[in-house]
Structure 1
């Protein structure tokens, strides 16, 4: 049985089964990337809900694993050389899990970098821009009621990014080619979130990106996605 006592986070979120991957997360577009990947890869794991309502992501125990105080984060009791390892940042976790299993990331160099560049497209573009749009459109609308610039700026950038995806997905079923990869897992929850989270389908004009929406539907309908999109379960 693995000993995870050296990780202070386990004092606040005790592991019921320390022999499996410990996931600390919330079912947000960033959080579900990892739960979906874990389901796709068939890796046993234990999910711990990190409540934003009580700022648990800022607690000393959580920050001990991720100094940036953001979900998701994991502990793998069977890390490199058989030793436990903690990993934070969703993109890094996806790469780690893909390399651990040899799945969802091509092994040939050209294929690998094709996936990684699209993963970085999500990490550096889709996530931050969609998130800022959602913030100003839904959560801070009252604060910018007399200044439409912030919402419009991020709305227009979200549309531009969707246009990039629309062009690429017109020629292939998945972001990096014929195979479903961690790039798709990282990105589709954010596009889905424009509709189901931010309730902004009309404002963004999602109907103008039919290939993107067909891709979202393909990814969302996968059994692993259906389960992973709701992990950890909200109370």
Structure 2
């Protein structure tokens, strides 16, 4: 049984979706351990042993590559591990595999961080800073445009196949309204989004822990996620 330490955020949902898409079923092949990031569970010493950057998700597989337990943090690394373990959603040819990795890195280095900043300054920041809101909203729109153009002549982000790159990007686009996005400006990307959202494994993945997350409204939770608690020496 694979242990997944997670929370219903885009990075958490990436791994939930990947597990389900790989044919691994919640409750049969893997189990989830909620890490409530608003309450500070991510700073628990036991969690820090497997995720030293105090971020979700993290994974512990008792049957690692050499038959011994392995723990992993960073969602991109976990996706690649699961793809290698199951032989799914990782293109076989070197050329196609590098193309997929190119777009996975695009998500890890661009889509996730930039859309995360858009969420922060548009919704969570204690003061509305016009410069920051405009900067990250415009960057979100630029990234959506990049993806929309990429889908001009192919059905999936990295080519003709559904891959880890699609699984990594999709959860971040579920909060498109919070990012200041109008889907009418990105018709090809909207078609891709709807096709991914309709996949049964994706629907199962985004349902994991969905009822556990509450709106971020109190100052204590804000301090835990964005303030002094986050930056304490450990």
The residue that corresponds to 1:16 in the other structure is none
> Of residues 105, 117, 121 in structure 1, which corresponds to 2:90?
105
**3-state SS in 1 of match to 2:10:** coil
The residue that corresponds to 1:184 in the other structure is 166
**3-state SS in 2 of match to 1:87:** strand
The residue that corresponds to 1:213 in the other structure is 190
> Of residues 108, 122, 129 in structure 2, which corresponds to 1:137?
122
Q: How many residues align?
A: 208
The residue that corresponds to 1:7 in the other structure is none
The residue that corresponds to 2:208 in the other structure is 231
The residue that corresponds to 1:36 in the other structure is 17
Q: Distance in 2 between matches of 1:47 and 1:177?
A: 32
Deviation at 1:205, TM superposition (A): 2.4
Deviation at 1:93, TM superposition (A): 0.3
Q: Distance in 2 between matches of 1:217 and 1:55?
A: 34
Q: Distance in 1 between matches of 2:38 and 2:139?
A: 29
Q: Distance in 2 between matches of 1:190 and 1:21?
A: 24
Answering whether residue 153 of structure 2 is matched by residue 171 of structure 1, we say yes
**3-state SS in 2 of match to 1:51:** coil
Q: Distance in 1 between matches of 2:55 and 2:106?
A: 19
> Of residues 49, 53, 60 in structure 2, which corresponds to 1:64?
49
Query: For the aligned residues, what is the CA RMSD?
Result: 1.1
Deviation at 1:233, TM superposition (A): 4.5
Answering whether residue 57 of structure 2 is matched by residue 75 of structure 1, we say no
Q: Distance in 2 between matches of 1:228 and 1:72?
A: 13
Give the TM-score normalised by structure 1.
Answer: 0.86
Alignment deviations for residues 111-164 of structure 1 (CA, whole Å, 9 cap, x no partner): 110100000000000000000001000111x412xx300010011111111111
**3-state SS in 2 of match to 1:160:** helix
Alignment deviations for residues 164-215 of structure 1 (CA, whole Å, 9 cap, x no partner): 10101111110011111110000011111223xx3x4xx3223201111111
The residue that corresponds to 2:222 in the other structure is none
**3-state SS in 1 of match to 2:175:** helix
What runs of 5+ residues in structure 1 fail to find an aligned partner?
Answer: 1-19
What runs of 5+ residues in structure 2 fail to find an aligned partner?
Answer: 213-234
